[in-house]
Structure 1
Amino acid sequence: MGHEAGGAVKIARALLALPGLAALAWGVMLFAEYALPLRPDVLGTLSWIIGGPILNDAVIAPLTALLGLALARLLPPRWRTPVVAGTVSTATLAILAVPLLWRPYGTPPMPGLHDTNPTPALALTVAAVWLAVVLTALRPRVVPPITSDAPPITRDTPPDTRDACSDTPADRPGP
């Protein structure tokens, strides 16, 4: 990449970061407006804001990763990717459902959301994920597996333009 292109990439990154930083600043302002002066309910909010990511990073994500690694080693190849994806999707759904499962009305009310019990909704969504996992693993392969006798495809490999059916001694280049 040339010097000019590198500078353009840096400018583009800075321009893409600006809306994120503006949103972060806005969120800090809104939280300060809510939290100051300090009250007992602010400490509960802080525990959710700080404790949630710590719980995810220290417990849920490592357990999901270990389960995914164990499943990847134990399962046959065609089941590995769908099952690991289903495991990660299930963990993500569980994280998203915690506020609703933890206590009634754990989130701000939205029309229609609190009309139902979140537990069956989570169970149906997880069932749909695992149905997709099973259907994906059982589908027939469209692409044949790569064999060891085929040369690897790299960027430096020239394209093969010969027709596979016309490979006769007369078609091969001579010495």
Structure 2
Amino acid sequence: MRTARTLLALPGLAALAWGVVLFAEYALPLRPDVFGTVGWIIGGPIVNDAVIAPLTALLGFAVARLLPPRWRTPVIAGTVTTATLATLAVPLLWRPYGTPPMPGLHDTNPVPALALTLATVWLAVALTALRPRVDPPITSDAPPITRDVPPITRDTRPGTPADPPGTPTDPRGTPADPPGIPADRPGP
């Protein structure tokens, strides 16, 4: 397990180190715009953890109390997706050209693009909640599982008593006879 964790952590640490190298190339020598970037790097997680995540959680709790069960999971997933997309869209909505230019990115207005994406998310939420639910058929072959009834296995049939202790079908390690009774004579 320790080896697996180490192997999973190594690529993440390598990516983190590469990010530090790239940021150092960008930030050094210090310029005024570097401080704005540091503000976004530090402020983004703080705003997310202090504002966006708690509001999303509160909305999720409210939804779980108010909506019928079949709508709960899709609406909570849609709410979390909406919060994530809105967080990612903040740099583009905050000011024009809020991110480094990428081909095709600044050819459109980000507000309608975000609205169209959120409309698609909520359409998927509605379709998921409204789809017909398919439950497996209930069969009367087996009795209900309860704690006071021994489980039915391949070797037993419904309505027959369970084998007494010590029979060949018992797993290894079960006592053949109750303690204190010798195996060669019957019990009292």
TM-score range, shorter chain: 0.7 to 0.9
* Number of aligned residues: 154
SS in 1 for 2:43: helix
Larger relative contact order (CA 8 Å, sep ≥ 6):
1
Q: Report if the CA contact (8 A) 2:56-2:80 is conserved.
A: yes
- Rg bigger for which structure? 2
Superposed displacement of residue 31, structure 1: 1.2
Q: Stretches of 4+ moved more than 6 A in 1? A: none
Please tell me the root mean square deviation across aligned C-alpha atoms, in Å: 2.6
The answer on whether the counterparts of 2:92 and 2:110 sit within 8 Å (CA) in structure 1 is yes
Q: 1:158 to 1:115 in 2, by over 3 A?
A: farther
Q: Distance in 1 between matches of 2:72 and 2:99?
A: 35
Percent sequence identity over aligned pairs: 78
Q: What is the deviation of 1:174?
A: 5.6
* CA shift digits 1:26-85 (9 cap, x unpaired): 211221222122221110000010000101010000000000001101111111111111
Does the alignment pair 1:151 with 2:151? no
User: In the alignment, which residue of structure 2 is the partner of 1:122?
Assistant: 114
Q: Which residue of 2 aligns with 1:47?
A: 39
Hey, what's the Cα distance between the residues in 1 that align with 2:74 and 2:137? 17
60, 64, 88: which one aligns with 1:68: 60
Does residue 105 in structure 1 map to residue 92 in structure 2? Answer: no
Cα pair distance change 1:17/1:160, threshold 3 Å: same
Structure 2: 5+ residue stretches without partners: 163-188
Structure with higher helix content: 1
